[in-house]
Structure 1
Amino acid sequence: MAASLVISAPASGVGKTTLTLALARAWRNRGLNVQCFKSGPDYIDPAFHAAATGRASVNVDSWAMDRSAVAHLVSRGGNADVVLAEGSMGLFDGVAARGVSGTGATADIAEMLGWPVVLVIDPSGQAQTAAAIAAGLRDYRAGVRLGGVVLNRVASPRHEDLVRRALNEAGIKVFGALPRHAEISLPKRHLGLVQAEEQAEIGKLIDEAARFVAEHVDLDAVLHSAGKWSPQAVANGLNVRPPGQRIALARDAAFSFVYPHMLEAWRAAGAEIVPFSPLADEVPDASADVCWLPGGYPELHAGKIAGNARFRSGLRAFAETRPVHGECGGYMVLGAGLTDADGIRHEMTGLLGLETSFAKRRMHLGYRLAELAAPMPGQQPGARLRGHEFHYSTILAQPDTPLAVVHDATGAVIAETGSRRGHATGTFFHLIAEDR
């Protein structure tokens, strides 16, 4: 049986990712096999988990997935010594309307799997009040069990003592307290952390975080608080169909936002994935029967994409006879033009008429439920798809046939319908799962 824990916090930006990576690497350094997961739709953190553990991490999501899908995904931890699920936002933060098995909150996963929660508490600007917050989180939902807390960014020994005393009086274990330590800060950009594959020094950062946490946190006490978990047998796994038999997948610094569980599900269904790099001016494999362009950061590479004539002409030639689909950033590249943050317009592939702009910056964030009005690779009209949208671009024009009727998590219809023209389709949401 594996020791199981959920790493969560009262809010975003408190240090969940840093603590998760540090614990994972510290225990790996002790010879333990560690398996990580990410609760919620964040597609960046799993790559950091993999860098820390040497094992692929996947997302589990109570809004988009049913219990059997979650159980199927976490079963990969059955041969691990320790399993860690990193939460998103605050412990109980989710959407207003329930999805497939919950609201997307980390607490849903903790309760569903029966894994105790380790809270990361940042007591900056407070002292005993931090204990009140921790006690409130402990008592808010009966099915969620608190294992203890790790304090982060404590200002001084006196500050730590005040907070520890209050937590002890509340009956809450304190596993350790971390003073401020700039050397383990992970770089950020507008969609979150800079991706692990873009950081040459990521191994050193994780090693330093592990050393620092091991110095200030009682790792044995954290393990002792963990649950004892073994995977459950499930009748059904993920309900995800591959978009084709041989999939040309754009994969580089501009096209990297794809959920690991999606690629695994495609391969499990017998599909073959053939990566290519638009930034290297490569074209989709000629033997592929479908091309898929994930999201990423095309706005940071728009000039290069516009100048890579071989890629653009090769993709257009591919789309004359075979389907091409783009998600978010990939959708933008399938469009006619992309205006960057400096107001410069770059010509894209022109397979769709979409025009987007980062000069007119606006955040689009949230779960999406789409009912297809037209087919897309692997899906027929009427299919109901669950996904997540997160970008800062503004639609200037979306003139093609709408691909879907898209609702947010409250059921409201949104304008980002996706598009279809010929063999090309695109959506702003990243597909997570199909409705059964």
Structure 2
Amino acid sequence: MTASLVISAPASGVGKTTLTLALARAYRDRGLKVQCFKSGPDYIDTAFHAAAAGRTSVNIDSWAMHRDEIEALVSRGANADLVLAEGSMGLFDGVAAGGLSGTGATSDIAEMMGWPVLLVIDPSGQAQTAAAVAAGLRDFRAGVRLAGVVLNRVASTRHEDLVRRAMAGAGIAVFGALPRHAAISLPKRHLGLVQAEEQGEVDGLIAEAACFVAEHVDLDAVLQSAACAWTAPCAARPSVKPPGQRIALARDGAFSFVYPHMLEAWRAAGAEIATFSPLADEGPDDSADVCWLPGGYPELHAGQLAANRQFRRALKSFAEIRPVHGECGGYMVLGTALTDGGGTRHEMTGLLGLHTSFAQRRMHLGYRLAELALPMPGYQARALLRGHEFHYSTIVSQPDTPLAIVRDATGVVVAETGSRRGYATGTFFHLIAEDR
């Protein structure tokens, strides 16, 4: 048996990530093996989870994944003492149209796995009403069980007392209260949290948060609430296909948005991964049979990428006879130009005709279902792929042949079709799973 909890909240921005990291480190410091997961498509939080728990965290997504795929990923918790699954947005927030095993809501995962929910409640500007919110979440869906709450950003002792009394009256356990004045936070960037691997001080921040939470939260009571009759399912072979036998993977500060479960699935299928750094002016391993450029923050390094002639020359040579694929930021770098936020145009690799710009930012966010019109590495034409798109760039020009018909979660066709030219392909969405 493994103790398990879903960390959720009524909305985004309440403190789910910070509490998840703090609890993971606090229990790890007690000698427990902690396994984290991220419900939903956010590709940044899992790196922070790994830093806190010392184990790789992966995404589990009810819209993009079949139940057996989720169970295969969840099976890694079999040898853990505690599973902590961080939710996304509010507990019941998902898309309007259902996906492969749900709407993408955190509550889907909680019900599917039978994991109780620990709510983070921010009672700022409230007192007794916070208990009404928590009670409403508790009673909204019969298959979702509430373990209790942690109060965040409490204004004073009197404020805490009022909220605690109201929660007790509603039959809801309060495991702790975090004062409003606490200055524990993680740096932000326009796509969310700064990547964990970029932060030299991240370990210290997590340790500080763990100590703070241990002082204000009853860790024994939280652990007791997580004790449930849950047995991790047996591992199954992942369904994600590797794009080749030996994969040259761009990996550095400009290219790091790649789902951990994808890399694990590639390796499980027998593929090898050889990383290289475009920022260090490195090209793909010439012994590889495919090159993959994931997303990241190329717009922050556009000048350096444009100046790195060895990287650009080696990638062009590679693409003359072998496939190269880019996702989001990687797709932009495969294009002809990238205009940064200041309006400066930077020449990219030119493998595709795509020109993108951050001079006029506009958010593109949501699930994507793509029907391939042309093949891409690992998949043939007419394959159905599920992914997620999140960026602020706009398309100035995209002259190449569209790669796919891409729809959002409601079935509406979107303009970001991806494209193909020769052996080069690219998409704005990050691949999560195949819709088999």
TM bin, normalised by shorter chain, reads over 0.9
Specify the alignment match of 2:29 in structure 1.
29
Contact 1:238/1:433 (8 A) holds in 2: no
* CA distances 1:9-32 after superposition (whole Å, capped 9, x unpaired): 000010000000111111111110
Contact 1:239/1:435 (8 A) holds in 2: no
Specify the alignment match of 1:229 in structure 2.
230
Instruction: Please list every run of 5 or more consecutive structure 2 residues that lacks an aligned counterpart in the other structure.
Output: none
* CA distances 1:214-242 after superposition (whole Å, capped 9, x unpaired): 000000100111123221236x5431110
Contact 2:95/2:103 (8 A) holds in 1: yes
* CA distances 1:253-297 after superposition (whole Å, capped 9, x unpaired): 000000000000000000000000000000000100000000000
* CA distances 1:184-218 after superposition (whole Å, capped 9, x unpaired): 21100110001111111111111111100000000
* Per-residue deviation, 1:181: 4.6
Q: Secondary structure at the match of 1:184?
A: coil
Specify the alignment match of 1:199 in structure 2.
199
What pairs up with 1:383-422 in 2 under 5 angstroms? 383-422=383-422
What pairs up with 1:326-341 in 2 under 5 angstroms? 326-341=326-341
Instruction: Please list every run of 5 or more consecutive structure 1 residues that lacks an aligned counterpart in the other structure.
Output: none
Q: Secondary structure at the match of 2:296?
A: coil
Specify the alignment match of 2:165 in structure 1.
165
Within the alignment, does 1:344 sit opposite 2:327 as a pair?
Answer: no
* Per-residue deviation, 1:360: 1.1
CA distance in structure 1 between the partners assigned to 2:216 and 2:229 by the alignment? 25
Contact 1:187/1:194 (8 A) holds in 2: yes
Contact 2:2/2:232 (8 A) holds in 1: no
CA distance in structure 2 between the partners assigned to 1:260 and 1:184 by the alignment? 27
What pairs up with 1:78-89 in 2 under 5 angstroms? 78-89=78-89
* CA distances 1:379-399 after superposition (whole Å, capped 9, x unpaired): 100100000000000011111
CA distance in structure 2 between the partners assigned to 1:344 and 1:182 by the alignment? 40
Aligned Cα RMSD in Å? 0.8
CA distance in structure 1 between the partners assigned to 2:203 and 2:292 by the alignment? 30
What pairs up with 1:83-98 in 2 under 5 angstroms? 83-98=83-98
Specify the alignment match of 1:309 in structure 2.
309
Q: Secondary structure at the match of 2:71?
A: helix
Contact 1:68/1:237 (8 A) holds in 2: no
CA distance in structure 2 between the partners assigned to 1:91 and 1:317 by the alignment? 48
* CA distances 1:112-159 after superposition (whole Å, capped 9, x unpaired): 000000000001111111111000000000000000000000010011
Within the alignment, does 1:47 sit opposite 2:47 as a pair?
Answer: yes
Q: Which amino acid aligns with 1:232?
A: P
Q: Secondary structure at the match of 2:229?
A: strand
CA distance in structure 1 between the partners assigned to 2:161 and 2:401 by the alignment? 62
Within the alignment, does 1:210 sit opposite 2:213 as a pair?
Answer: no
* CA distances 1:159-202 after superposition (whole Å, capped 9, x unpaired): 11111111110000000000025442110011000111111111
Contact 1:74/1:231 (8 A) holds in 2: yes
CA distance in structure 2 between the partners assigned to 1:339 and 1:21 by the alignment? 36
* CA distances 1:26-83 after superposition (whole Å, capped 9, x unpaired): 1111110000000000000000000011100000000000110010001001000000
Q: Which amino acid aligns with 1:338?
A: L
| TM-score computed with the length of structure 2 as normaliser | 0.99
Specify the alignment match of 1:112 in structure 2.
112
Specify the alignment match of 1:374 in structure 2.
374
CA distance in structure 2 between the partners assigned to 1:376 and 1:402 by the alignment? 12
CA distance in structure 1 between the partners assigned to 2:321 and 2:183 by the alignment? 51
* Per-residue deviation, 1:332: 0.2
* Per-residue deviation, 1:432: 0.1
Q: Secondary structure at the match of 1:138?
A: helix
CA distance in structure 2 between the partners assigned to 1:276 and 1:293 by the alignment? 10
What pairs up with 1:134-153 in 2 under 5 angstroms? 134-153=134-153
Within the alignment, does 1:70 sit opposite 2:70 as a pair?
Answer: yes
Contact 1:244/1:289 (8 A) holds in 2: yes
Q: Which amino acid aligns with 1:72?
A: A
Contact 1:8/1:88 (8 A) holds in 2: yes
* CA distances 1:83-119 after superposition (whole Å, capped 9, x unpaired): 0000000000010000000000000000000000000
Contact 1:38/1:60 (8 A) holds in 2: yes
CA distance in structure 1 between the partners assigned to 2:129 and 2:395 by the alignment? 44
Specify the alignment match of 1:294 in structure 2.
294
CA distance in structure 2 between the partners assigned to 1:266 and 1:177 by the alignment? 43
Extract structure 1 runs of 4+ deviating beyond 6 A: none
Calculate percent identity across the aligned residue pairs.
Answer: 81
CA distance in structure 2 between the partners assigned to 1:339 and 1:192 by the alignment? 21
Specify the alignment match of 1:427 in structure 2.
427
Q: Secondary structure at the match of 2:262?
A: helix
Contact 1:336/1:347 (8 A) holds in 2: yes
* Per-residue deviation, 1:435: 1.1
CA distance in structure 2 between the partners assigned to 1:232 and 1:201 by the alignment? 36
Q: Which amino acid aligns with 1:271?
A: A
CA distance in structure 2 between the partners assigned to 1:231 and 1:422 by the alignment? 45
Specify the alignment match of 1:268 in structure 2.
268
| TM-score computed with the length of structure 1 as normaliser | 0.99
Contact 1:327/1:427 (8 A) holds in 2: yes
Contact 1:196/1:202 (8 A) holds in 2: yes
CA distance in structure 2 between the partners assigned to 1:156 and 1:188 by the alignment? 27
Q: Which amino acid aligns with 1:171?
A: G
